[in-house]
Structure 1
Amino acid sequence: MDIRLLNQEDAKEYRKIRLEALKNNPEAFSSSFEEEKEFPVENYESRLQSEVSFTFGVFEKEQLIGVGTLLKEQKSKLKHRANIVAMYVSPLKRGMGIGKSIMQAAIQKAKDAEEIEQINLCVVSTNMSAKKLYTSLGFKTFGIEQKALKIDGRYFDDEYMVLFL
Protein backbone atom coordinates (compact mmCIF):
# COMPACT_ATOMS: atom_id res chain seq x y z
CA MET A 1 0.00 0.00 0.00
CA ASP A 2 1.15 3.47 -0.90
CA ILE A 3 0.26 6.68 0.95
CA ARG A 4 0.81 10.11 -0.57
CA LEU A 5 -0.60 13.60 -0.96
CA LEU A 6 -3.25 13.67 -3.66
CA ASN A 7 -3.08 16.15 -6.53
CA GLN A 8 -5.39 17.24 -9.35
CA GLU A 9 -4.59 14.11 -11.38
CA ASP A 10 -6.23 12.09 -8.60
CA ALA A 11 -9.52 14.02 -8.80
CA LYS A 12 -11.55 11.25 -10.50
CA GLU A 13 -10.44 8.62 -7.98
CA TYR A 14 -10.99 11.05 -5.11
CA ARG A 15 -14.50 11.89 -6.34
CA LYS A 16 -15.28 8.18 -6.54
CA ILE A 17 -14.20 7.41 -2.95
CA ARG A 18 -15.78 10.62 -1.65
CA LEU A 19 -19.18 9.63 -3.07
CA GLU A 20 -18.70 6.10 -1.68
CA ALA A 21 -18.02 7.62 1.75
CA LEU A 22 -21.08 9.87 1.62
CA LYS A 23 -23.26 6.94 0.57
CA ASN A 24 -21.85 4.38 3.05
CA ASN A 25 -21.52 6.63 6.10
CA PRO A 26 -23.84 9.65 5.71
CA GLU A 27 -23.73 10.28 9.48
CA ALA A 28 -19.97 10.94 9.33
CA PHE A 29 -20.10 13.93 6.97
CA SER A 30 -21.95 17.24 6.86
CA SER A 31 -22.16 16.99 3.05
CA SER A 32 -24.58 14.53 1.50
CA PHE A 33 -24.31 12.12 -1.41
CA GLU A 34 -27.30 13.82 -3.03
CA GLU A 35 -25.54 17.19 -2.97
CA GLU A 36 -22.08 16.07 -4.05
CA LYS A 37 -23.06 13.60 -6.78
CA GLU A 38 -23.87 16.63 -8.91
CA PHE A 39 -20.41 18.19 -8.45
CA PRO A 40 -18.22 17.96 -11.54
CA VAL A 41 -14.72 16.48 -11.26
CA GLU A 42 -13.35 20.04 -11.55
CA ASN A 43 -14.62 20.76 -8.03
CA TYR A 44 -12.39 18.00 -6.72
CA GLU A 45 -9.46 19.12 -8.86
CA SER A 46 -9.58 22.57 -7.25
CA ARG A 47 -9.83 21.04 -3.75
CA LEU A 48 -6.70 18.99 -4.42
CA GLN A 49 -4.77 22.07 -5.64
CA SER A 50 -5.44 24.16 -2.55
CA GLU A 51 -2.55 25.75 -0.65
CA VAL A 52 -4.32 25.25 2.69
CA SER A 53 -5.80 21.78 2.24
CA PHE A 54 -3.71 18.61 2.14
CA THR A 55 -5.51 15.40 1.23
CA PHE A 56 -3.69 12.16 1.86
CA GLY A 57 -4.65 9.00 0.04
CA VAL A 58 -3.79 5.35 0.43
CA PHE A 59 -3.64 3.31 -2.75
CA GLU A 60 -3.76 -0.41 -3.24
CA LYS A 61 -2.98 -1.48 -6.80
CA GLU A 62 -3.85 1.96 -8.23
CA GLN A 63 -7.16 2.02 -6.34
CA LEU A 64 -7.76 4.73 -3.74
CA ILE A 65 -8.95 2.94 -0.57
CA GLY A 66 -8.56 5.60 2.11
CA VAL A 67 -8.44 9.40 2.39
CA GLY A 68 -8.15 12.17 4.94
CA THR A 69 -7.60 15.92 4.72
CA LEU A 70 -5.64 18.34 6.88
CA LEU A 71 -7.18 21.79 6.52
CA LYS A 72 -5.21 24.79 7.80
CA GLU A 73 -7.14 27.69 9.30
CA GLN A 74 -6.68 30.99 7.44
CA LYS A 75 -7.85 33.76 9.75
CA SER A 76 -4.97 35.41 11.61
CA LYS A 77 -6.33 34.52 15.06
CA LEU A 78 -6.82 30.88 14.06
CA LYS A 79 -3.62 30.17 12.12
CA HIS A 80 -2.29 28.11 15.02
CA ARG A 81 -4.97 25.51 14.28
CA ALA A 82 -5.68 22.92 11.61
CA ASN A 83 -8.56 20.47 11.20
CA ILE A 84 -8.82 16.88 10.10
CA VAL A 85 -11.80 16.46 7.77
CA ALA A 86 -13.18 13.97 5.25
CA MET A 87 -11.58 10.88 6.83
CA TYR A 88 -12.71 7.64 5.21
CA VAL A 89 -11.47 4.11 4.60
CA SER A 90 -13.35 1.69 2.32
CA PRO A 91 -15.27 -0.82 4.46
CA LEU A 92 -13.41 -3.92 3.22
CA LYS A 93 -10.07 -2.30 4.10
CA ARG A 94 -10.89 -1.18 7.64
CA GLY A 95 -8.97 -2.57 10.59
CA MET A 96 -5.71 -2.76 8.63
CA GLY A 97 -4.08 0.43 9.94
CA ILE A 98 -4.95 2.56 6.90
CA GLY A 99 -6.75 5.23 8.91
CA LYS A 100 -3.84 5.37 11.34
CA SER A 101 -1.38 5.84 8.46
CA ILE A 102 -3.45 8.70 7.08
CA MET A 103 -3.71 10.34 10.49
CA GLN A 104 0.02 9.98 11.14
CA ALA A 105 0.83 11.59 7.77
CA ALA A 106 -1.57 14.47 8.49
CA ILE A 107 -0.16 14.98 12.00
CA GLN A 108 3.38 15.04 10.62
CA LYS A 109 2.35 17.58 7.95
CA ALA A 110 0.90 19.77 10.71
CA LYS A 111 4.07 19.45 12.80
CA ASP A 112 6.16 20.44 9.78
CA ALA A 113 4.12 23.65 9.45
CA GLU A 114 5.66 25.84 12.13
CA GLU A 115 2.55 27.90 12.85
CA ILE A 116 0.25 24.93 13.62
CA GLU A 117 0.01 24.18 17.34
CA GLN A 118 -3.13 22.06 17.47
CA ILE A 119 -5.29 19.81 15.32
CA ASN A 120 -9.05 19.65 15.79
CA LEU A 121 -11.48 17.09 14.47
CA CYS A 122 -15.09 16.14 14.78
CA VAL A 123 -16.35 12.55 14.88
CA VAL A 124 -19.89 11.20 15.14
CA SER A 125 -20.23 10.03 18.74
CA THR A 126 -21.36 6.51 17.78
CA ASN A 127 -18.22 5.80 15.69
CA MET A 128 -16.32 3.89 18.37
CA SER A 129 -13.54 2.62 16.09
CA ALA A 130 -12.70 6.12 14.86
CA LYS A 131 -12.78 7.52 18.40
CA LYS A 132 -10.46 4.70 19.53
CA LEU A 133 -8.04 5.53 16.71
CA TYR A 134 -8.02 9.26 17.47
CA THR A 135 -7.57 8.65 21.21
CA SER A 136 -4.65 6.28 20.51
CA LEU A 137 -2.94 9.13 18.64
CA GLY A 138 -3.35 11.52 21.58
CA PHE A 139 -6.58 13.34 20.71
CA LYS A 140 -8.78 14.32 23.64
CA THR A 141 -12.49 15.11 23.67
CA PHE A 142 -13.37 18.69 24.55
CA GLY A 143 -17.04 18.83 23.74
CA ILE A 144 -20.13 17.16 22.34
CA GLU A 145 -22.67 18.81 20.09
CA GLN A 146 -26.01 17.12 20.54
CA LYS A 147 -28.16 16.64 17.45
CA ALA A 148 -25.36 17.98 15.21
CA LEU A 149 -26.71 16.20 12.14
CA LYS A 150 -30.22 15.21 11.15
CA ILE A 151 -30.62 12.50 8.53
CA ASP A 152 -34.07 11.19 7.62
CA GLY A 153 -35.51 12.36 10.93
CA ARG A 154 -32.71 10.77 13.00
CA TYR A 155 -30.21 12.83 14.99
CA PHE A 156 -26.48 12.24 15.43
CA ASP A 157 -24.22 13.82 18.04
CA ASP A 158 -20.74 15.08 17.13
CA GLU A 159 -17.75 14.73 19.44
CA TYR A 160 -15.06 17.40 19.16
CA MET A 161 -11.47 16.33 19.77
CA VAL A 162 -8.11 18.13 19.86
CA LEU A 163 -4.45 17.17 19.70
CA PHE A 164 -1.96 19.73 20.98
CA LEU A 165 1.33 19.44 19.10
Structure 2
Amino acid sequence: MEIRKLNSSNADAYIEIRLEALQTNPEAFASSYEEEKHYSLEKVQNRLEDDYSCTIGAFENETLAGVVSIVREQRPKIKHRANIYAMYVTPEKRGSGIARKLMIDALEMVKQMNRIEQVYLSVVATNEPAKKLYKAFGFKTYGVDRRALKVNDIYYDEELMVLAL
Protein backbone atom coordinates (compact mmCIF):
# COMPACT_ATOMS: atom_id res chain seq x y z
CA MET A 1 0.00 0.00 0.00
CA GLU A 2 1.17 3.50 -0.82
CA ILE A 3 -0.13 6.62 0.90
CA ARG A 4 0.39 9.92 -0.87
CA LYS A 5 -1.02 13.38 -1.34
CA LEU A 6 -3.46 13.53 -4.23
CA ASN A 7 -3.07 16.07 -7.01
CA SER A 8 -5.03 17.04 -10.10
CA SER A 9 -3.86 13.93 -11.96
CA ASN A 10 -5.78 11.84 -9.38
CA ALA A 11 -9.08 13.69 -9.89
CA ASP A 12 -10.85 10.88 -11.77
CA ALA A 13 -9.98 8.31 -9.09
CA TYR A 14 -10.96 10.75 -6.35
CA ILE A 15 -14.33 11.46 -7.95
CA GLU A 16 -15.00 7.73 -8.18
CA ILE A 17 -14.20 7.01 -4.51
CA ARG A 18 -15.93 10.18 -3.30
CA LEU A 19 -19.19 9.33 -5.08
CA GLU A 20 -18.93 5.77 -3.75
CA ALA A 21 -18.51 7.17 -0.22
CA LEU A 22 -21.53 9.44 -0.56
CA GLN A 23 -23.67 6.52 -1.75
CA THR A 24 -22.31 3.88 0.66
CA ASN A 25 -22.34 6.01 3.82
CA PRO A 26 -24.54 9.07 3.16
CA GLU A 27 -24.94 9.64 6.91
CA ALA A 28 -21.20 10.23 7.29
CA PHE A 29 -20.90 13.33 5.11
CA ALA A 30 -22.52 16.75 4.98
CA SER A 31 -22.38 16.65 1.18
CA SER A 32 -24.66 14.39 -0.80
CA TYR A 33 -24.22 12.25 -3.88
CA GLU A 34 -26.89 14.35 -5.61
CA GLU A 35 -24.78 17.50 -5.09
CA GLU A 36 -21.38 16.15 -5.97
CA LYS A 37 -22.27 13.97 -8.97
CA HIS A 38 -22.51 17.23 -10.92
CA TYR A 39 -19.04 18.51 -9.94
CA SER A 40 -16.87 19.04 -12.98
CA LEU A 41 -13.49 17.40 -13.35
CA GLU A 42 -11.94 20.88 -13.33
CA LYS A 43 -13.58 21.74 -10.00
CA VAL A 44 -12.19 18.59 -8.39
CA GLN A 45 -8.75 19.15 -9.94
CA ASN A 46 -8.70 22.68 -8.50
CA ARG A 47 -9.76 21.40 -5.08
CA LEU A 48 -6.92 18.86 -5.10
CA GLU A 49 -4.41 21.63 -5.89
CA ASP A 50 -5.71 24.13 -3.28
CA ASP A 51 -3.08 25.84 -1.10
CA TYR A 52 -5.07 25.55 2.15
CA SER A 53 -6.21 21.97 1.95
CA CYS A 54 -4.94 18.60 0.86
CA THR A 55 -6.33 15.15 0.35
CA ILE A 56 -4.32 12.04 1.09
CA GLY A 57 -5.05 8.76 -0.64
CA ALA A 58 -4.22 5.15 0.12
CA PHE A 59 -3.45 3.19 -3.04
CA GLU A 60 -3.33 -0.56 -3.38
CA ASN A 61 -2.03 -1.64 -6.78
CA GLU A 62 -2.73 1.89 -8.06
CA THR A 63 -6.38 1.63 -6.97
CA LEU A 64 -7.55 4.30 -4.55
CA ALA A 65 -8.85 2.45 -1.47
CA GLY A 66 -9.14 5.28 1.06
CA VAL A 67 -8.97 9.05 1.42
CA VAL A 68 -8.89 11.78 4.04
CA SER A 69 -8.81 15.56 3.65
CA ILE A 70 -7.13 18.24 5.76
CA VAL A 71 -8.27 21.86 5.65
CA ARG A 72 -6.35 24.65 7.33
CA GLU A 73 -8.40 27.55 8.70
CA GLN A 74 -7.64 30.91 7.09
CA ARG A 75 -9.33 33.54 9.25
CA PRO A 76 -6.88 35.29 11.60
CA LYS A 77 -8.52 34.28 14.88
CA ILE A 78 -8.66 30.59 14.01
CA LYS A 79 -5.50 30.12 11.90
CA HIS A 80 -4.14 27.91 14.68
CA ARG A 81 -6.67 25.23 13.71
CA ALA A 82 -6.94 22.55 11.05
CA ASN A 83 -9.85 20.22 10.27
CA ILE A 84 -9.99 16.63 9.14
CA TYR A 85 -12.83 15.86 6.75
CA ALA A 86 -14.11 13.15 4.46
CA MET A 87 -12.34 10.10 5.88
CA TYR A 88 -13.43 7.09 3.85
CA VAL A 89 -12.15 3.58 3.23
CA THR A 90 -13.84 1.32 0.70
CA PRO A 91 -15.96 -1.38 2.41
CA GLU A 92 -13.82 -4.26 1.13
CA LYS A 93 -10.67 -2.69 2.64
CA ARG A 94 -12.11 -1.77 6.03
CA GLY A 95 -10.38 -3.44 8.95
CA SER A 96 -7.08 -3.66 7.06
CA GLY A 97 -5.41 -0.70 8.80
CA ILE A 98 -5.84 1.78 5.95
CA ALA A 99 -7.76 4.31 8.06
CA ARG A 100 -5.06 4.20 10.73
CA LYS A 101 -2.31 4.75 8.16
CA LEU A 102 -4.26 7.63 6.61
CA MET A 103 -4.63 9.26 10.04
CA ILE A 104 -0.93 8.84 10.79
CA ASP A 105 -0.02 10.62 7.55
CA ALA A 106 -2.75 13.26 7.93
CA LEU A 107 -1.58 14.18 11.42
CA GLU A 108 2.02 14.24 10.27
CA MET A 109 1.05 16.69 7.51
CA VAL A 110 -0.81 18.84 10.04
CA LYS A 111 2.25 18.91 12.30
CA GLN A 112 4.31 20.19 9.38
CA MET A 113 1.89 23.07 8.83
CA ASN A 114 3.03 26.30 10.37
CA ARG A 115 1.45 27.23 13.72
CA ILE A 116 -1.30 24.59 13.86
CA GLU A 117 -2.14 23.89 17.50
CA GLN A 118 -5.43 21.98 17.29
CA VAL A 119 -7.06 19.53 14.91
CA TYR A 120 -10.84 19.17 14.72
CA LEU A 121 -13.14 16.57 13.24
CA SER A 122 -16.70 15.37 13.54
CA VAL A 123 -17.98 11.83 13.37
CA VAL A 124 -21.45 10.32 13.33
CA ALA A 125 -22.13 9.42 16.97
CA THR A 126 -23.06 5.83 16.12
CA ASN A 127 -19.86 5.13 14.16
CA GLU A 128 -18.02 3.25 16.90
CA PRO A 129 -15.08 2.01 14.76
CA ALA A 130 -14.25 5.56 13.63
CA LYS A 131 -14.61 6.98 17.15
CA LYS A 132 -12.32 4.24 18.49
CA LEU A 133 -9.72 5.11 15.85
CA TYR A 134 -9.84 8.84 16.58
CA LYS A 135 -9.65 8.28 20.34
CA ALA A 136 -6.59 6.07 19.81
CA PHE A 137 -4.86 9.12 18.29
CA GLY A 138 -5.80 11.24 21.30
CA PHE A 139 -8.90 13.01 19.98
CA LYS A 140 -11.34 13.99 22.73
CA THR A 141 -15.07 14.64 22.37
CA TYR A 142 -15.93 18.21 23.32
CA GLY A 143 -19.56 18.23 22.26
CA VAL A 144 -22.40 16.59 20.41
CA ASP A 145 -24.24 18.28 17.58
CA ARG A 146 -27.72 16.80 17.95
CA ARG A 147 -29.58 16.07 14.74
CA ALA A 148 -26.61 17.44 12.77
CA LEU A 149 -27.50 15.61 9.57
CA LYS A 150 -30.78 14.53 8.08
CA VAL A 151 -30.65 11.74 5.52
CA ASN A 152 -33.86 10.24 4.15
CA ASP A 153 -35.84 11.71 7.06
CA ILE A 154 -33.50 10.15 9.65
CA TYR A 155 -31.48 12.43 11.93
CA TYR A 156 -27.89 11.71 12.89
CA ASP A 157 -25.96 13.22 15.78
CA GLU A 158 -22.31 14.12 15.30
CA GLU A 159 -19.62 13.97 17.95
CA LEU A 160 -17.29 16.93 17.76
CA MET A 161 -13.70 15.98 18.53
CA VAL A 162 -10.43 17.86 18.99
CA LEU A 163 -6.78 16.95 19.31
CA ALA A 164 -4.38 19.42 20.91
CA LEU A 165 -0.92 19.18 19.35
The bucket for the TM-score relative to the shorter chain is over 0.9
Gaps of 5+ in 2: none
Q: What amino acid sits opposite 1:7 in the alignment? A: N
Measured on the aligned residues, the alpha-carbon RMSD in Å equals 0.6
3-state DSSP class of the match of 2:92? helix
Structure 2 match to 1:84? 84
Across the two proteins, how many residue pairs are aligned to each other?
Answer: 165
Instruction: Output the TM-score relative to the length of structure 2.
Output: 0.99
Structure 2 match to 1:6? 6
Structure 2 match to 1:154? 154
Q: What amino acid sits opposite 1:124 in the alignment? A: V
Cα distance between partner residues in 1 of 2:152 and 2:27 = 11
Gaps of 5+ in 1: none
Are residues 1:68 and 2:68 paired? yes
Cα distance between partner residues in 1 of 2:52 and 2:44 = 14
Cα distance between partner residues in 2 of 1:75 and 1:161 = 20
Are residues 1:34 and 2:11 paired? no
Cα distance between partner residues in 2 of 1:3 and 1:48 = 15
Instruction: Output the TM-score relative to the length of structure 1.
Output: 0.99
Q: What amino acid sits opposite 2:82 in the alignment? A: A
Cα distance between partner residues in 2 of 1:117 and 1:81 = 6
Cα distance between partner residues in 2 of 1:97 and 1:142 = 26
Structure 2 match to 1:51? 51
Structure 1 match to 2:17? 17
% identity of equivalent residues:
52
Deviation at 1:114, TM superposition (A): 2.7
Are residues 1:116 and 2:122 paired? no
Regions of 4+ moved over 2 Å: none
Q: What amino acid sits opposite 1:22 in the alignment? A: L
Deviation at 1:151, TM superposition (A): 0.9
Question: Is 101-110 or 11-20 further displaced after alignment?
Answer: 101-110
Cα distance between partner residues in 1 of 2:92 and 2:48 = 25
